[in-house]
Amino acid sequence: MSSRRPSPLHGARPTRADLAAVDTTDPCALDDVLPAVPDTLRLLIVGINPGLWTAAVRAPFAHPGNRFWPSLHRAGLTSRLVDASRGLDLADEQDLLDRGLGITNLVGRATARAAELDREELRTGGAALLGRLPRLRPRVVAIAGITAFRSAFGVPRARLGRQDPGTVAGWPEGPGAPVLWVVPQPSGLNAHATIDSLAATWREVAAEAGVEAAAS
């Protein structure tokens, strides 16, 4: 059974008043999507932080303009196109978990834009993620957003794609250490990414994580 809190909007899309009412001081505005058994986690997707819409409906990447779910489906990582704009359906959540996918964020606090986060919040979030990896034991970690990644891990010259984990202080080493990718931010505000280009990246990431294409 899911431990995620249901949306207080009961399946309705948030209104402007709902968005304005989001508590932007709450350090945990959104629950993770994570398996109960860590060894089943093939791919851990790490967003920057919840947006207001995402926090209002308590579902990851929930804004209708976000390209996350369409690109994941086009890449074959989900068996159907997920609509999280009113909350994440329990069947869709279970499908992710059954396929070895998990979702979390660097920072738990909701903001209207990720740019509202300060560097210290991102660094704290990066350190917290490093601390969780030995317990979660994912095969691959994919962080969505190069600018936030640079700030969170102190690697100002990092580029999108597969990373050299040796450049990230504290990254796990040795057999079984997770592979690190940084993928483009899927927000509709990112003019440099399309559903097709994001899907192509997800296919590469999924192949390395051992996530097979879903049957549509």
Q: Are 158 and 149 in contact (CB under 8 A)?
A: yes
Look at residue 1 in the predicted model and tell me its pLDDT.
47
Tell me the C-alpha distance between 147 and 126, whole Å: 13
Which residues have C-beta within 8 Å of that of residue 3, sequence separation ≥ 6? Answer: 31
Q: Are 153 and 126 in contact (CB under 8 A)?
A: yes
The hierarchical CATH code for the domain 24-209 is 3.40.470.10
For the chain of 216 residues, list the mean pLDDT of each consecutive stretch of 10: 72 93 95 89 97 96 96 96 95 95 98 93 97 95 97 96 94 93 90 93 97 82
Look at residue 53 in the predicted model and tell me its pLDDT.
97
> Amino acid identity, residue 133?
L
Look at residue 216 in the predicted model and tell me its pLDDT.
62
Look at residue 11 in the predicted model and tell me its pLDDT.
81
